[in-house]
Amino acid sequence: MAERIEDGRVVVPAGLHPSETATTPPSASTSSEPTHSENERILTCVNDVEEGQRSYRPGGFHPVRIGDVYAKRYQVLLKLGFGRYSTVWLVQDLQAETEQYRALKILSAECHEPGVRFWEREILHRLREGDQSDPGYDFICHLLDDFEHVGPNGVHYCFVFDAAAYDLQTYQSWFPEKRVPTWRMKAITAQLLLALNYAHLQGVIHTDIKPRNILVKLDDPDLIKKRLGARSLYTEEQLLRMRLLTESLHHLPAYACWRGEMLEIENSMNVAEGRARQTPALATDERVHNAESKISKVLEPSKELPGTYTIVETADFYGLYDDPHVYDDVQISLGDWGAASWVDRHLTKLIQPVTLRAPEVLIEAEWDYTTDLWNLGAVIFEVFRNVRLFNGERTPSFRSGYDLQEHLRQIIDVFGPFPRQFLEQGSPNVVGELFNAEGTVWDVLGEIGPRVKRNPLETIGYEFWSDVTETDLLQFTRFLKAMMKINPTERASIGKLVEEDWLSGLLG
């Protein structure tokens, strides 16, 4: 059976990757002296919070604090998320005539170091300066402003974008079983195809299409102001952890709001207004006091702790809409171009999220702009039915983790054998080890028993098709098979794809 996606974590905006975060404050010690294991647990907690304390080093991330102002214009309100090479913040444009909110992406200083291949700024400028009359232009997350900032860890590229309402993964969570209705999925698909077509015309290949890099546009900016006034931007655990780590370990700024009133933690940094808030039914002052008294016994300053910056945790900011029907006319934008390549110059050979990788990437053949089509097709299926088209896992009952052989077998289950002519373009080592003369993968049973065939495009045995009409299912299957040919030279062009029956009537 196909694996249902249960990861519903809200909000990682454009450019960011999934990450586990610490969600439990350190346990209190029953002794007045912290034990070695308790100290170790606390240090682990500090280093495991979001991007990790070790990210803040020379060449690493810039230590951003609530209230900071960048380029004499953008004031930081809260943290939207983080990725491998950047953190992203909600900021207010202080120079705008009316209240304007933006997303500020601050890259690691590593991206600015000599010799590092970094094309994101160049690509963003190319996308912005292209033909604005192209129908795909408006479906790109465009750069509004960029500048460089010198900080204690180096020089950082900073990019400013429109603030979005949601990413596509969060958008999914509105619907029963996280399955986007057919007519909405058609509209989103058409817009993404236009966005890709525009990018390819500019000589740009995205290479990293996934639900979190597809943003739902905000049609009412006043909702940001409304959300900033909400009282559920941070969980109780987040507030307590940030406050105690700041107060006990670093003596740097942090803010908490208890029962709706802002409490400023005294420090020497004189930071501007804090924005962290707490839900009404959270800890009472007495509970907070008791928790602080206990936890402070094991939270003692330590020379083992790297740096002095307390990480600001990601706020639950993207709850702007209560009803999905307000977005019946959904508008998306394709974002995070940090891993993008030029058509004639590739940033790296290994691209795309693992289970979304195109066959040419899996067999280590050369790839071009058509690799985006395979990647997008897999994402469309995932968002449409809340199921991964391919998961690379041997059987649903045996959690063996990702396996390249199984991933290739699953592709063959859906789309048939790999053409011999195509395999000849791949790595001799990979192809020779994994494929037989028929273009299928050697079947090694090992210790986990016979393999179960997996084809989510079939209706038998898959309940996730229950709300899709037979006509729509047949049209969608034809559309996907035209888009996701194993041999990239056989994939339909975007011009042909938008004329498919499944998208009929959506584009002029």
Per the model's pLDDT, the better-predicted residue between 343 and 224 turns out to be: 343
Lowest mean per-residue pLDDT among 195-204, 316-325, 332-341 = 316-325
437-470 residue pLDDT tens? 999 998 755 544 567 778 888 866 678 898 899 9
**Per-residue confidence (pLDDT) for residue 219, from 0 to 100:** 73
pLDDT at 299 over 70: no
pLDDT at 290 over 60: no
Task: Provide the pLDDT confidence category of residue 117 given band limits of 50, 70 and 90.
Answer: confident
Lowest mean per-residue pLDDT among 113-127, 407-421, 449-463, 492-506 = 449-463
Lowest mean per-residue pLDDT among 25-29, 105-109, 285-289, 493-497 = 25-29
pLDDT at 51 over 50: yes
The strand ranges marked E within 94-140 are 101-107
Q: Which of helix, strand or coil describes residue 262? A: strand
Torsion of CA 425, 426, 429, 434, to 10 degrees: -120
The CATH code belonging to domain 1-163+219-323 is 3.30.200.20
Residues 111-121 as b/e (b if ≥16 CB within 10 A, e otherwise) read: bbeeeeebbbb
pLDDT at 266 over 70: no
Known binding positions for ATP: 105
Known binding positions: 105
Query: For residue 410, what are the CA distances in angstroms to 208, 235, 406, 414, 454?
Result: 21, 40, 6, 7, 6
**Per-residue confidence (pLDDT) for residue 257, from 0 to 100:** 27
Q: What are phi and psi of 90, to 5 degrees?
A: -80, 130
Give the helix/strand (H/E) hosting 248.
none
Lowest mean per-residue pLDDT among 35-44, 63-72, 353-362 = 35-44
Question: In this structure, is the dihedral angle defined by the CA atoms of residues 502, 371, 3 and 320, taken in order, positive or negative?
Answer: negative
pLDDT at 273 over 70: no
**Per-residue confidence (pLDDT) for residue 245, from 0 to 100:** 59
**Per-residue confidence (pLDDT) for residue 200, from 0 to 100:** 98
Lowest mean per-residue pLDDT among 98-112, 161-175, 224-238, 323-337 = 224-238
* Superfamily covering domain 173-217+331-503: Transferase(Phosphotransferase) domain 1 (1.10.510.10)
Degrees (nearest 5) of the Cα angle 36, 41, 42?
100
Q: Which of helix, strand or coil describes residue 191? A: helix
**Per-residue confidence (pLDDT) for residue 400, from 0 to 100:** 64
**Per-residue confidence (pLDDT) for residue 508, from 0 to 100:** 58
Q: Which of helix, strand or coil describes residue 408? A: helix
Bridge partners for 91 per DSSP: 76, 102
Average pLDDT over residues 10-24: 30
Task: Provide the pLDDT confidence category of residue 196 given band limits of 50, 70 and 90.
Answer: very high
Question: Measured between alpha carbons, how far is 18 from 355 in angstroms, rounded to an integer?
Answer: 14
Per the model's pLDDT, the better-predicted residue between 84 and 412 turns out to be: 412
- Token pair, residue 173, equals 């969570």
pLDDT at 274 over 50: no
Task: Provide the pLDDT confidence category of residue 54 given band limits of 50, 70 and 90.
Answer: confident
**Per-residue confidence (pLDDT) for residue 493, from 0 to 100:** 97
pLDDT at 174 over 90: no
**Per-residue confidence (pLDDT) for residue 297, from 0 to 100:** 31
**Per-residue confidence (pLDDT) for residue 223, from 0 to 100:** 79
Average pLDDT over residues 204-228: 88
Task: Provide the pLDDT confidence category of residue 252 given band limits of 50, 70 and 90.
Answer: very low
For 173-258, where are the alpha helices, taking DSSP H only?
182-201, 222-228, 236-245
pLDDT at 151 over 90: yes
383-431 residue pLDDT tens? 999 999 999 987 655 556 888 999 999 999 999 999 999 999 999 999 9
Q: 348-354: which pairs have CB atoms within 8 A and are 24 or more residues apart? A: 351/207, 351/208, 352/207, 352/208, 352/209, 353/208, 353/210, 354/392, 354/402, 354/407
Per the model's pLDDT, the better-predicted residue between 177 and 295 turns out to be: 177
Supply the pTM of this predicted model.
0.77
Question: Measured between alpha carbons, how far is 33 from 386 in angstroms, rounded to an integer?
Answer: 49
Q: Which of helix, strand or coil describes residue 166? A: strand
Per the model's pLDDT, the better-predicted residue between 322 and 19 turns out to be: 322
Question: Measured between alpha carbons, how far is 374 from 378 in angstroms, rounded to an integer?
Answer: 6
Domain with CATH 3.30.200.20 in the chain: 1-163+219-323
Task: Provide the pLDDT confidence category of residue 309 given band limits of 50, 70 and 90.
Answer: confident
Domain with CATH 1.10.510.10 in the chain: 173-217+331-503
